Amino acid sequence: MCRFMSHAPVLTAHPLAPLDADEIRCATAAVLAGADDARVISCARREPDKAAYLAWRDGDDPARRAPAREALVVLSRAAGVEECVVALAAAAIVSRRLVPGARSPITPEDYEAAAACVLEDERVVRALRERGVEDLGLVQIDVLPSGALGHALEAEHRFGRAVAYLKKDPLDNAYARPIEHLIAFVDLDARVVLAVEEGERRSIPAADGDYRAGVVAPREDLRPFSVTQPEGVSFTVERGEVRWHRWTFVPAIDPQEGLVLHDVRYDGRSVLHRGSCAEMIVPYGEPDPMHNWRTYFDAGEYGLGASMNSLELGCDCLGEITYLDAWLSDQRGEPVRIANAICLHEEDAGVLWKHTDHATGHVEVRRGRRFVVNAMATVGNYEYAFRWYLGLDGTIEVEVQLHGIVSTIAVGGDRPPRGSNPIDEGLAAPHHQHLFCFRLDLDVDGVANTVHEVQAASLPAGPDNPLGNAFGPVVTALRTEREARRSADQHASRVWTVSGRRTNALGRPTAYRLVPGHGTATLLADPDSSVGRRAGFARHTLWVTPYRDEERFPAGAYPYARAEPDGLPVWSTDRPLEGEDVVLWYTIGVTHFVRPEDWPIMPMTKAGFSLEPVGFFDRNPTLDIPPAAGGCRHSERG
Ligand SMILES: [Cu+2]
């Protein structure tokens, strides 16, 4: 029995709830005993076997036991990456194995140590002085993944490429002044500079990118805006499970994926067993040699969980908010708390439904509201908010909001940047993409599901269509993995339905459909390029695979500097899908040609998709939503 667990939090937590501080201490202490060379990369809940979990969740034996809680601790060791499973109740190691060929991501400690050692390196300091930079306190170092481009250092080292920016004061926006064509190659394990590469020198731009309060005079014509719920909120959080309206689910922060929603059910009926952004990449399109290697796998190479913000009431979130903390591990195995990592609240959602009877003037109108689950990550120059909205009508919307500061390149020298847009004096911003792959383990009324593509088409004119104006849906079963690699086609109103074995009152299978929203770009890089090979998942908007416990990350669990394809393009062969436990992999894609309005800080951009019930209910499930308190006075018009 683990000595840290005297107050036994595991006895009360939901089987899918994330680890707390005591559990992290317990798990890391077990695996670090006698492993002096080890650094902890992550420590998280090892999710129970799906079948065992569902047997417990759907079972009717009141004495049934929840699946035992286990932790997965990932270590960086001299011999490589090691995965250790710990049974928490006994503090016992269940298994440990080295993962062949895996390299660990850039942890927060790696990042900090790498940035510090760059500014202590004589070659870097000399190169900065030669460019007129004397005050190192004003230099910002960004540590970026190496990529997998066949660099001579790749075979022997896990390294990052460090680039430099010059600020005018310590809190200034560094991206206004990139110090071009100076790259330090940093060994992330030894934490030393391996090499310094210099290219064409360009003058440091004179641009000003300061956007801070106090620097910009605030406008004075906005009056306060507040959201109140005087009788309290309509949701509860107990043992890690959220209940709102007919919905239940368990939210969590995973070190790699960030926000995860587990076991999302409506009225007890299963809809989504697990949903998360399982990988995201940001490939750049600027061919300049200082920039052409830039591609970030923000989940697999940094960790979206490790990058989570502590959200603040009144700033990040408005209204009656309930926050959940996240617990991660530092490299020594000590728990790290991210306070207020997940924000839960209700939002007004406009009119849910309305009709004015034109004959009588009678009006019925109901206000909608939605439940918001939000978490936000800062990864380098960008912020990403991952927002899930649950609707009264059974709809689940997923929205990614993009914030932050664009990556920049100094303009000048012999060759002006060819893959960038100008944004300020001597400054441009490279074209790039943001591709977010959501892993959606849909279980619509049970695990056995079938996926169809539905799109609109005109019917040929003829005896059955004498006026030539008829049209209808064309429904195609996606029977195998190969048939299920699809792109979006909004011209054809293309959607994908996932149906179960249950039938509705009309005798049709109950279903949900995945409806693309804004952001349907796919990867633009050549399929044979390095990023094309490493991020093959992003070449299609949709993939469907049969559920496998181990198939979690679309570019593989350890994409750092991995040159060979991994993840979806490797697992996905041509396995059958009909009536299987299917997993949908949907990539939201944004291609960003930077606008002047995106500088010096971007106004929010959003992209997403929705999951909508289609015959999951027999009719509009919201007829019983009560009218607004106090009633409406439409009918009294003269
Ligand atoms: Cu962008």
Give all strands (DSSP E) within 380-479, no chain letters.
382-391, 396-404, 409-410, 420-424, 427-430, 432-442, 448-458, 471-477
pLDDT in tens, 64-114: 788 999 999 999 999 999 999 999 999 999 999 999 999 999 999 999 999
Is 70 exceeded by the pLDDT of residue 9?
Answer: no
- Å from CA of 433 to ligand 1 middle: 6
- 3-state helix, strand and coil shares in percent for the chain, rounded to the nearest 5: 15, 40, 45
Average per-residue pLDDT for the chain = 95
Candidates 542, 519, 514, 487; CA nearest to 591 is: 519
Rounded CA-CA distance 474/466 in Å is 20
- Å from CA of 165 to ligand 1 middle: 19
Contact assessment for residue 394 and residue 377, using Cβ atoms and an 8 Å cutoff: no
Q: What does the block give as tokens for 113?
A: 């140590």
- Å from CA of 422 to ligand 1 middle: 14
Residue with tokens 């000595």: 3
The DSSP 8-state label assigned to residue 4 in this structure reads G
Rounded CA-CA distance 347/157 in Å is 49
pLDDT in tens, 483-497: 999 999 999 999 999
- Å from CA of 592 to ligand 1 middle: 5
Long-range contacts of 548-554 (CB under 8 A, 24+ apart): 549/49, 549/50, 551/583, 552/278, 552/439, 553/256, 553/278, 553/279, 553/299, 553/300, 554/278, 554/279, 554/437, 554/439, 554/585
Candidates 611, 608, 612, 234; CA nearest to 387 is: 608
pLDDT band at 60 (very low <50, low <70, confident <90, very high): confident
The question of whether 298 is a catalytic residue gets the answer: yes
- The pLDDT of residue 638: 44
- Å from CA of 322 to ligand 1 middle: 30
- Å from CA of 92 to ligand 1 middle: 45
β-strand pairing of 542-546 with 432-442: unpaired
Is 80 exceeded by the pLDDT of residue 634?
Answer: no
**DSSP line for 205-271:** P-------BTTBPPPS---------TT--SEEEETTEEEETTEEEEEEEETTTEEEEEEEEETTEEE
Residue with tokens 């005993």: 33
- Å from CA of 502 to ligand 1 middle: 42
Residue with tokens 């920016």: 165
- Å from CA of 434 to ligand 1 middle: 6
- Å from CA of 321 to ligand 1 middle: 29
Reported residue count of the chain is 638
- The pLDDT of residue 5: 43
Amino acid found at 525: A
pLDDT in tens, 549-606: 999 999 999 999 999 999 999 999 999 999 999 999 999 999 999 999 999 999 999 9
- Å from CA of 298 to ligand 1 middle: 13
Backbone dihedral angles phi then psi of residue 273, each to the nearest 5 degrees: -70, -35
Contact assessment for residue 249 and residue 230, using Cβ atoms and an 8 Å cutoff: no
- Å from CA of 190 to ligand 1 middle: 32
SS3 542: strand
- Å from CA of 181 to ligand 1 middle: 22
- The pLDDT of residue 66: 86
- Å from CA of 432 to ligand 1 middle: 6
- The pLDDT of residue 373: 98
Contact assessment for residue 114 and residue 189, using Cβ atoms and an 8 Å cutoff: no
Rounded CA-CA distance 309/414 in Å is 41
Distant-in-sequence, close-in-space partners of 365: CB < 8 Å, separation ≥ 6:
351, 353, 354, 355, 627, 628, 632, 634
Candidates 160, 189, 194, 192; CA nearest to 78 is: 189
Which helix (DSSP H) or strand (DSSP E) does residue 622 occupy? none
Q: What does the block give as tokens for 502?
A: 């249950």
Q: What does the block give as tokens for 202?
A: 């360009």
- Å from CA of 431 to ligand 1 middle: 8
- The pLDDT of residue 7: 41
- Å from CA of 407 to ligand 1 middle: 8
- The pLDDT of residue 384: 98
- The pLDDT of residue 6: 41
Rounded CA-CA distance 560/555 in Å is 10
Which helix (DSSP H) or strand (DSSP E) does residue 363 occupy? strand 363-379
The residue annotated as part of the active site, out of 142, 298, 393, 443, is 298
Rounded (5°) CA angle 266-269-273: 85
The DSSP 8-state label assigned to residue 300 in this structure reads I
Contact assessment for residue 444 and residue 394, using Cβ atoms and an 8 Å cutoff: no
- Cβ neighbours of 94 (radius 10 Å): 15
Candidates 327, 238, 252; CA nearest to 47 is: 252
Is 70 exceeded by the pLDDT of residue 414?
Answer: no
Distant-in-sequence, close-in-space partners of 41: CB < 8 Å, separation ≥ 6:
74, 75, 76, 81, 104, 105, 107, 255, 331
- Å from CA of 285 to ligand 1 middle: 11
pLDDT in tens, 508-538: 999 999 999 999 999 999 999 999 999 999 9
- Å from CA of 284 to ligand 1 middle: 9
Is 50 exceeded by the pLDDT of residue 237?
Answer: yes
- The pLDDT of residue 417: 85
pLDDT in tens, 118-164: 999 999 999 999 999 999 999 999 999 999 999 999 999 999 999 99
Q: In percent, how much of the chain has pLDDT > 70? A: 97
The residue annotated as part of the active site, out of 53, 382, 384, 558, is 382
pLDDT band at 11 (very low <50, low <70, confident <90, very high): very low
- Å from CA of 308 to ligand 1 middle: 19
Contact assessment for residue 251 and residue 261, using Cβ atoms and an 8 Å cutoff: yes
Candidates 151, 615, 176, 590; CA nearest to 408 is: 176
Rounded CA-CA distance 421/409 in Å is 10
Distant-in-sequence, close-in-space partners of 583: CB < 8 Å, separation ≥ 6:
439, 440, 441, 442, 544, 545, 546, 547, 551
Reading phi first (left if > 0) and then psi (alpha if -120 to 50, else beta), residue 618 is in alpha
Rounded CA-CA distance 333/42 in Å is 8
Q: What does the block give as tokens for 285?
A: 């399109």
Backbone dihedral angles phi then psi of residue 142, each to the nearest 5 degrees: -105, 130
The question of whether 382 is a catalytic residue gets the answer: yes
**DSSP line for 464-505:** TBTTS--EEEEEEE--BTTTT-B---GGGT-EEEEEEEEE-T
Give the C-alpha distances (Å, rounded to integers) separating 39 from 4, 7, 75, 326, 332: 21, 28, 6, 20, 6
Rounded CA-CA distance 55/68 in Å is 13
Q: What does the block give as tokens for 184?
A: 């330090």
- Å from CA of 163 to ligand 1 middle: 19
Give all strands (DSSP E) within 298-362, no chain letters.
322-329, 335-356
- Å from CA of 430 to ligand 1 middle: 9
**Bridge partners, 474 (sequence order):** 455
- The pLDDT of residue 10: 40
Contact assessment for residue 543 and residue 537, using Cβ atoms and an 8 Å cutoff: yes
Candidates 434, 436, 386, 387; CA nearest to 594 is: 434
Is 80 exceeded by the pLDDT of residue 276?
Answer: yes
